[in-house]
C-alpha cells in the first residue's frame, strides 16, 4: 500500500513556503511564557490550540444569541438553530458526506464509537461474531467493543502490528472470514503516528460482509478526508483535535445504516411521539441526539472548519511532514534516544525513549524549560505492552509548530539528560 492510497501526499514542490509565523499570530495561547521560557507546545495529539476565530465564535454565541435550538418561536432561537445546523453542514462538507443527515453530533470520538457499539453492536452482534481492531488502538476503540461483545458472546480481536508500528496487512487478510462483523481501526495512531491504509482495510472488510468504523481523531487535523471515497461505514472525529473546542465531535454514518439503528439514549429532541402506550423515535440525525445539545461548541466547531478551509492545507501538510522529518533526523543524531514507532507512513507524532530516564521524569524536566510534551502510555496500553515499555515521551506536531520548536526540544533534552 503506497502513501498515495492512504492519504493525499501530492504537494507541488514549487509552491510558496507555508507562512507559519503568520499563522502563529492567530493562536493567542502560543504568545506566552512558561517557567520564564517561550512556550513550545508539542502536545497536539492530546489537544490542539484554538485560533481567535474559534474563541470569538463562542463569545459571539453567548453574548449575542444564546438560546436553545429547534423548538422556540423567537429570534434568538432561530439564529441559534441556523448557526447550529449550519455547523452540521460545514462538518458534512468537510468530510464529503452524501447527505447532511449522516452527521451526528457527539461529545467526541469516544462517544461516537460508543454510539455505534451500543446501537449497531447490540442489535447485530451474536455469539461467535468477531470484531477486529488493531493492536495499537486507543482505548476508546477497544473498551466500548469489549463492553458490548462480552455479554453477547462475541469477541474483540487485535490485528497484529509489527515492531515499527505498521499494521500487519497479511495477518489482517488472514483473519477475515464471514464471522467478522465489524473492523474498527484508527486512521492515524495517536501513540505512534502511523497512518493506516484504511482504504485497503475497508475494501477487504466489505468483501467478507463486515462493516467498518474509522477513528479519525488524529487524521483530520493533518490531511483532508473524503468518507465517500474511502467507502467506510462510520467515521468519527473530535473537534478539539481539529483546532476547535473540547466536548464536541461528530460521527459520520451511512444513512441506510443510521436509519436501521435504534437510539442508545432517550430523552427530549430524539422522539416523534411519547405516550405511556409507547414511544416513536424521530428521524436521523435527531434520534441519536437526545437532550439539549452542545450548541456553542458545535458552532465553534464550524468556525474551526472555516479557519482550516481558509488555510493552504496542502502547504500546512507539507510543512508538518518536513518538521517531522527534521525532528526524526535530529533524533537519529542524539545518543541514547530511541524512536518508538518508525512506520514508513507517519504523520504528526514522534514518540521516543531516552536511555537512563523515565518518560515522566523527562516530561517534567522539559516542562521546566517551557517545552510541553505528553508522557505515559497515551491510552494505548496494549501496544506499549507489546513493545515491553511503560510508555513514551510523545512530541506531537501541528501546522503552527516551527523548526525552532524542534531545536528547543532537543536543547531541552540535552540539558535534562545532564541531570540523570
Q: pLDDT (tens digit, 9 = 90+) per residue, 360-387?
A: 999 999 999 999 999 999 999 999 999 9
The CA radius of gyration of the chain, in Å to the nearest whole number, is: 22
Mean pLDDT of 172-188: 98
The average pLDDT across 56-75 equals 95
CA 204 – CA 368 distance, rounded (Å): 48
In the structure, what pLDDT confidence band is assigned to residue 202 with cuts at 50, 70 and 90? very high
Q: How far apart are the first and last CA of the chain?
A: 42
Contacts of 311 (CB under 8 A, 6+ apart): 23, 399
Query: pLDDT-derived band of residue 3, with 50, 70 and 90 as boundaries?
Result: very low
Of the pLDDT bands very low, low, confident and very high (cuts 50, 70, 90), residue 11 is very low
Q: Is the predicted pLDDT of residue 4 greater than 80, yes or no?
A: no
Strand partners, 185: 214
Residue 72 pLDDT class (50, 70, 90 cuts): confident
What local confidence, expressed as pLDDT, does residue 408 receive?
98
CA 300 to chain centre: 17
Mean of pLDDT values over 172-200: 98
Q: Which candidate, 284, 250, 248, 268, places its Cα nearest to that of 70? A: 268
Q: For residue 16, is pLDDT > 90?
A: no
Instruction: Measure the CA–CA gap between 377 and 4, rounded to whole angstroms.
Output: 30
pLDDT of residue 15: 65
What pLDDT, on the 0 to 100 scale, is given for residue 7?
58
Confidence of residue 103 (pLDDT cuts 50, 70, 90): very high
CATH class of 3-31+312-417: alpha beta
Burial 26-37 (b: 16+ CB within 10 A, else e): bbeebeeeeeee
The answer to whether residue 13 scores a pLDDT higher than 90 is: no
**pLDDT digits 0-9 by tens, 241-274:** 999 999 999 999 999 999 999 999 999 989 999 9
Q: Look at residue 17 and tell me whether its pLDDT is greater than 60.
A: yes
pLDDT of 10 reads 45
From 244, 147, 155, 227, select the one nearest 187 (Cα to Cα). Answer: 227
Polymer length of the chain: 420
What's the CA gap between 99 and 252, in Å, rounded?
Answer: 10
Q: What number is the average pLDDT over the span 138-155?
A: 98
Mean pLDDT estimate for the chain: 95
- For residue 145, cis peptide bond before it (omega within 30 degrees of 0): no
Task: Return the domain boundaries, the chain.
Answer: 3-31+312-417, 54-309
CATH 3.40.50.720 fits 54-309, yes or no: no
| Torsions phi, psi for 4 (to 5 deg) | -60, -30
Q: What is the mean pLDDT of residues 206-230?
A: 98
pLDDT for 12: 44
Report the b/e string of 299-325 with b at 16+ CB within 10 A: bbbbbbbbbbeebbbbbbbbbbbebbe
Q: Which three-class secondary structure state does DSSP give residue 410?
A: helix
Confidence at 219, pLDDT banded by 50, 70, 90: very high
Is 232 one of the catalytic residues?
no
Q: Which of 199, 208, 379, 389 is catalytic?
A: 379
Contact 234, 211 (CB under 8 A): yes
What's the mean pLDDT in 12-29?
A: 85
Amino acid at each position: 500500500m503506497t502513501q498515495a492510497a492512504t492519504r493525499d501526499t501530492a504537494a507541488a514542490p514549487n509552491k510558496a513556503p507555508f507562512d507559519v509565523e503568520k499563522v502563529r499570530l492567530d493562536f493567542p495561547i502560543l504568545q506566552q511564557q512558561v517557567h520564564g521560557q517561550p512556550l513550545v507546545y508539542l502536545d497536539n495529539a492530546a489537544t490542539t490550540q484554538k485560533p481567535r476565530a474559534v474563541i470569538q465564535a463562542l463569545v459571539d454565541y453567548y453574548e449575542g444569541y444564546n438560546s436553545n435550538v429547534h423548538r422556540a418561536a423567537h429570534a434568538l432561537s432561530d439564529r441559534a438553530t441556523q448557526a447550529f445546523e449550519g455547523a452540521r453542514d460545514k462538518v458534512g462538507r468537510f468530510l464529503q458526506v452524501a447527505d447532511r443527515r449522516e452527521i451526528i453530533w457527539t461529545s467526541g470520538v469516544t462517544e461516537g464509537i460508543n454510539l455505534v457499539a451500543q446501537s449497531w453492536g447490540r442489535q447485530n452482534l451474536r455469539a461467535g461474531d468477531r470484531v477486529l481492531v488493531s493492536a495499537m488502538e486507543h482505548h476508546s476503540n477497544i473498551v466500548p467493543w469489549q463492553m458490548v461483545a462480552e455479554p453477547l458472546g462475541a469477541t474483540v480481536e487485535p490485528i497484529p502490528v509489527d515492531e515499527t508500528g505498521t499494521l500487519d496487512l497479511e495477518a489482517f487478510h488472514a483473519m477475515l472470514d464471514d464471522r467478522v462483523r465489524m473492523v474498527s481501526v484508527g486512521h492515524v495512531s495517536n501513540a505512534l503516528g502511523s497512518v493506516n491504509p484504511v482504504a485497503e482495510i475497508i475494501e477487504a472488510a466489505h468483501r467478507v460482509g463486515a462493516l467498518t468504523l474509522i477513528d479519525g481523531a488524529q487524521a483530520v487535523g493533518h490531511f483532508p478526508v473524503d468518507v465517500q471515497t474511502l467507502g467506510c461505514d462510520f467515521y468519527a472525529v473530535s473537534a478539539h483535535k481539529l483546532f476547535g473546542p473540547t466536548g464536541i465531535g461528530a460521527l459520520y454514518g451511512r444513512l441506510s445504516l443510521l436509519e436501521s439503528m435504534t437510539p442508545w439514549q432517550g430523552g427530549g429532541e430524539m422522539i416523534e411521539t411519547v405516550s405511556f402506550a409507547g414511544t416513536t423515535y424521530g428521524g436521523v440525525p435527531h434520534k441519536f441526539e437526545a437532550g439539549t445539545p452542545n450548541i456553542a461548541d458545535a458552532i465553534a466547531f464550524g468556525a474551526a472548519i472555516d479557519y482550516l478551509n481558509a488555510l493552504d492545507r496542502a502547504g500546512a501538510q507539507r510543512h508538518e511532514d518536513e518538521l517531522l522529518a527534521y525532528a526524526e533526523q535530529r533524533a537519529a543524531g542524539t545518543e541514547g534516544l530511541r524512536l518508538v514507532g518508525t512506520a514508513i507512513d507517519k504523520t504528526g507524532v514522534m514518540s521516543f525513549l531516552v536511555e537512563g530516564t523515565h518518560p515522566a521524569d523527562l516530561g517534567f524536566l522539559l516542562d521546566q524549560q517551557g517545552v510541553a510534551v505528553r508522557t505515559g502510555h497515551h491510552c494505548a496500553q496494549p501496544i506499549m505492552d507489546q513493545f515491553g515499555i511503560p510508555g513514551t515521551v510523545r512530541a506531537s506536531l501541528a501546522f503552527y509548530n516551527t523548526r525552532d520548536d524542534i531545536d528547543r526540544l532537543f536543547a531541552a533534552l540535552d540539558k535534562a539528560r545532564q541531570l540523570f
